[in-house]
């Protein structure tokens, strides 16, 4: 039912419905997405319905074969940018230690939105020799899976078993560079999340796998649980701007992903991992 009490919203809903129908008619969007949007309208969540509709239309313009390229490139950016962040945080900690000014270190990182707990952890990680590369999408996806647990704190540092670096990487000495890398990582995670959500909505995974869980594990390399968490983030617009500084946003995103993965280990991400 269209809400005639607000002519502008009603008009926008009609225009969105017509645009969605055009995508449905060409097979780019499944009819189920309209049912989901209608349910949001019925609950008077008009702006949420418009956001989902707009995202579906944007995704529907993409070629169905581009998910590999999008995820491959996105994972590569995440891995490179995250290493820059870790080395940068480690350098800030090392410089503060030499100046014997721990308070300066905590102030500089906390002003960027990074909690003291994760600042200490990331600094320790940045002092190790980190090798996170992959020649294929599943290899990169597996590296991202490892990285999320490292950054999110769900894997103890003692369990990682990484070799200590012979010397500190001094290429990153500016917090501005660290924040730029954090922003790149967040943007790449957001792009991949939206891409995987699109694949789930359109059921594109059916072309290459018997279930979405197998698709996420075998084709993407992130596993069913982390894949499900990424899909969930792909349809949630609130988390990406929850904090004003990139380091703070990166902490929130990786913490959510790591904890969601741990929480759904027993279920295998059933909501997004089944044969929908």
Domain that holds residue 163: 65-273
- pLDDT for 266 equals 43
- In this structure, the answer to whether residues 49 and 114 fall within a common structural domain is no
Residue 237 has which token pair? 């617009």
Q: What are the pLDDT digits (tens) for 78-123?
A: 999 999 999 888 887 777 656 555 555 555 666 778 888 888 899 8
Distance between CA atoms of 171 and 174, rounded to whole angstroms?
A: 9
35 class by beta-carbon count within 10 Å (0-12 exposed, 13-18 middle, 19+ buried): exposed
pTM of the model: 0.71
- In this structure, the answer to whether residues 12 and 143 fall within a common structural domain is no
- pLDDT for 181 equals 92
1 located within any domain: no
Q: What are the pLDDT digits (tens) for 122-142?
A: 988 888 777 788 899 999 999
DSSP letters for 146-170: HHHHHHHT-S-HHHH-PPBPSS---
194 located within any domain: yes
Residues shown for the chain: 276
Q: What are the pLDDT digits (tens) for 140-160?
A: 999 999 999 989 887 776 666
| Torsional sign, CA 214, 220, 221, 222 | negative
Average pLDDT over every residue of 251-257: 93
Phi, psi at residue 164, to the nearest 5°? -70, 140
- pLDDT for 163 equals 56
258 located within any domain: yes
- pLDDT for 229 equals 95
- In this structure, the answer to whether residues 125 and 208 fall within a common structural domain is yes
Q: Are 167 and 173 in contact (CB under 8 A)?
A: no
Instruction: Report which of residues 138 and 167 the model is more confident about.
Output: 138
Apex 57 CA angle, 237 and 34, nearest 5: 85
Residue 166 has which token pair? 């012979």
Q: Are 225 and 269 in contact (CB under 8 A)?
A: yes
Domain count, the chain: 2
Q: What are the pLDDT digits (tens) for 40-93?
A: 888 888 877 887 787 777 666 654 558 888 999 999 999 999 999 998 888 877
């Amino acid at each position: 039912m269209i809400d005639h009490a607000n002519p502008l919203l009603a008009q926008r809903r009609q225009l969105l419905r017509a645009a969605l129908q055009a995508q449905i008619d060409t097979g780019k969007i499944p009819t189920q997405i309209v049912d989901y949007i209608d349910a949001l309208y019925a609950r008077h969540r008009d702006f949420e319905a418009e956001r989902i509709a707009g995202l579906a239309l944007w995704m529907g313009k993409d070629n169905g074969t581009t998910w590999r390229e999008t995820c491959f490139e996105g994972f590569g950016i995440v891995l490179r940018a995250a290493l820059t962040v870790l080395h940068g945080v480690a350098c800030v900690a090392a410089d503060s230690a030499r100046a014997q000014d721990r308070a300066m270190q905590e102030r500089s990182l906390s002003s960027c939105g990074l909690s003291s707990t994760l600042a200490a952890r990331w600094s320790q990680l940045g002092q190790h020799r980190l090798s996170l590369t992959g020649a294929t999408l599943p290899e990169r996806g597996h590296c991202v899976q490892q990285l999320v647990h490292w950054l999110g704190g769900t894997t103890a540092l003692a369990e990682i078993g990484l070799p200590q670096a012979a010397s500190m990487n001094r290429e990153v000495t500016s917090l501005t560079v660290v924040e730029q890398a954090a922003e790149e990582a967040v943007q790449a995670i957001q792009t991949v999340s939206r891409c995987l959500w699109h694949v789930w909505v359109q059921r594109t995974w059916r072309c290459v796998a018997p279930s979405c869980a197998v698709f996420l594990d075998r084709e993407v390399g992130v596993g069913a649980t982390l894949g499900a968490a990424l899909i969930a983030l792909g349809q949630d617009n609130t988390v990406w701007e929850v904090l004003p500084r990139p380091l703070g946003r990166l902490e929130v995103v990786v913490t959510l992903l790591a904890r969601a993965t741990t929480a759904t280990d027993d279920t295998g991400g059933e909501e997004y991992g089944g044969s929908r």
